[in-house]
Amino acid sequence: MLEKQNAELQAKLKKQQELEAKLKWYEEQLRLLQHKRFGVSSEKIHPGQLELFNEVENEANLDLPEPTVESITYQRRRKKRGHREAMLENLPVETVEYRLSDEEQVCSCCGGTLHEMSTEVRQELVYIPAELKVVKHVQYVYACRHCERHEIETPIQTASKPKPVISGSLASPSVLAHIMTQKYVEGLPLYRQEKQFQRMGVPLSRQTFANWMIMGAERWLSALYHRMHELLLERDILHADETTLQVLREPERSATSMSYLWLYRTGIEGPPIILYDYQETRAGEHPRMFLNGFKGYLQVDGYAGYHKVPDVTLVGCWAHARREFTNALKSMPAGVKSVTATEGLHFCNQLFAVERKLKHLKPQERYEERLRQSKPILDTFLSWLKKQEQQVLPKSALGKAIAYCLNQWDKLVAFLEDGRLQIDNNRSERSIKPVVIGRKNWLFANTPQGARASAIIYSVVETAIANRLHPYYYLRYLFEQLPNMDLSDSRALDQVLPWSKTLPVSCIAFHQLTK
């Protein structure tokens, strides 16, 4: 009888413990969701923050004398001279002079003639609203009068003119570049641009704009995209990431289905190349196909789909590992701090502190210093992780942080193999951010064809920005040049790539000209 009661009590206790663990998990998730919605998104840690277990070792300085009199020092930031002049030096200047008339140039005291003693100058920025105008391309055709009268055939000669960017269309290179820049750089949806054009007296529809975007991307920018793809695969260090994209009219899929925009970009070496690839799913087959022929290091987050890419060494992201410990701290109740989560976060911060010190070193020097400074931290951290794994609840936020590090450990330590590798995949996250911001404004793509065109346009403009070009002037230059080029000639395409030395100065961003 007593054994039966004991077994029932043990079962109730176990069930109660399971319920308490589940309740604790739900509370953690609620605090995380509240922090994501209302809290600060930055993961930066201020000096001294969360230093619970080594504050004495960090702050102690036995050589510092005891203070006798409290002193407070104020530092005033001096204004940098010449900043305004440097900012305005590339803008056109219109000078307006204010002078006294001849009749007014008389001294009020003695009646003598006044002379110019000095001037006072005030500078203002003047905004000139955009305007539209029509350019008529009139092409003259010539014939010979003599041949017309005396010969059987009359030779016809036509004056040369540049080819249009879209045949039979009102679209010019400047208009096409403007609409693309407004949407894919400034995040302005086509329906808002439609209203802007209406206010300027030209009632063009957003459907027309969408058609122009697709034709401009497929006919011209795709050639540049494919050439950059070829050059991307020649590198030996790449970064990758992906984000969701809703496409309304995908065949055999509901309008609410989520598709993906995959990002692939270069590392710290060579001119930046940033490419986006639209796909319907998040399957690992997509990066395997896109990176076919690539061999080297591929830096990614913890997504398992990248394991399908052959002939690569996957490099993990310590920013993701650190974020897991940050989330563990955020999931704690108000006023409660987890020493274990703080210790894990401190290990991550130590690694980032080393990277900041090594940032300006050459790759070989960075490789050697990482082995000397970072590897001991990693070895200690791994021992700490294995110990803590046995003591925390696996499904808790802290348990997930520890499990993430242990499961990703081979990838997380791969950055030690080459001084050119980075400790995190933030380079990819920065490149995916323009798509995320733009997506908040235009929300979705209408068709797969439009999604593919968007991927191509994003690739060109983001690569241009990364190479310090002005996206509008660069796109306008491309739409002027590409229709008049042989797009099958890779050498000709290389002359208009975003890092080409033959690009006109007008394509370079103004803030780069002032440096």
Q: Which residue has the higher pLDDT, 365 or 45?
A: 365
Asked whether residue 177 is domain-assigned, the answer is no
What number is the average pLDDT over the span 131-136? 90
Count of structural domains, the chain: 1
pLDDT score of 253: 86
pLDDT score of 441: 75
Asked whether residue 372 is domain-assigned, the answer is yes
pLDDT per residue as tens digits for the range 191-234: 999 999 999 999 999 999 999 999 999 999 999 999 999 999 99
pLDDT score of 57: 41
Cα separations (Å) of 212 from 55, 106, 172, 479? 61, 65, 10, 12
The span from the CA of 122 to the CA of 113, in Å, is 26
CB 262 within 8 A of CB 245: no
Asked whether residue 311 is domain-assigned, the answer is no
pLDDT score of 271: 96
DSSP string covering 125-149: ----------------EEE-HHHHH
What number is the average pLDDT over the span 108-126? 88
**Is the pLDDT score of 405 beyond 90?**
yes
Asked whether residue 399 is domain-assigned, the answer is yes
**Average pLDDT over the chain, rounded to whole?**
86
Cβ-Cβ contacts under 8 Å for 161 (sequence gap 6 or more):
137, 139
pLDDT score of 69: 45
- 3-class secondary-structure state, position 170: coil
CB 183 within 8 A of CB 454: no
**Is the pLDDT score of 49 beyond 60?**
no
The span from the CA of 295 to the CA of 39, in Å, is 41
Asked whether residue 348 is domain-assigned, the answer is yes
Asked whether residue 382 is domain-assigned, the answer is yes
pLDDT per residue as tens digits for the range 234-250: 999 999 999 998 888 88
pLDDT score of 279: 94
Asked whether residue 338 is domain-assigned, the answer is yes
One-letter amino acid for residue 274 of the chain:
I
Query: Which helix (H) or strand (E) is 87 found in, with range?
Result: helix 83-88
> Helix 448-466 and helix 471-481: axis angle, to 10°?
110
- 3-class secondary-structure state, position 159: coil
For the ranges 102-116, 311-325, 328-342, 358-372, the lowest mean pLDDT is seen at 328-342
**Is the pLDDT score of 79 beyond 70?**
no
pLDDT score of 92: 86
pLDDT score of 432: 92
CB 397 within 8 A of CB 21: no
Q: Name the burial class of residue 213, with classes exposed (0-12), middle (13-18) and buried (19+) by CB atoms within 10 angstroms of its CB.
A: buried
Q: Where are the alpha helices (DSSP H) in 443-494?
A: 448-466, 471-481, 490-494
Cβ-Cβ contacts under 8 Å for 473 (sequence gap 6 or more):
177, 506, 507
What number is the average pLDDT over the span 412-438? 93
Q: Which residue has the higher pLDDT, 448 or 24?
A: 448
One-letter amino acid for residue 423 of the chain:
I
> Helix 397-407 and helix 318-330: axis angle, to 10°?
170
For residue 235, give the DSSP letter: -
Name 113's bridge partners.
106
**Is the pLDDT score of 283 beyond 90?**
yes
pLDDT score of 60: 45
Asked whether residue 360 is domain-assigned, the answer is yes
Q: Where does the pLDDT of residue 310 fall: very low under 50, low under 70, confident under 90, or very high at 90 and above?
A: very high
Q: Where does the pLDDT of residue 465 fall: very low under 50, low under 70, confident under 90, or very high at 90 and above?
A: very high
Structure tokens at 428: 């990819």
What number is the average pLDDT over the span 134-157? 88
No. of H helices and E strands in the chain?
20, 7
Q: 386 lies in which domain range?
A: 317-422
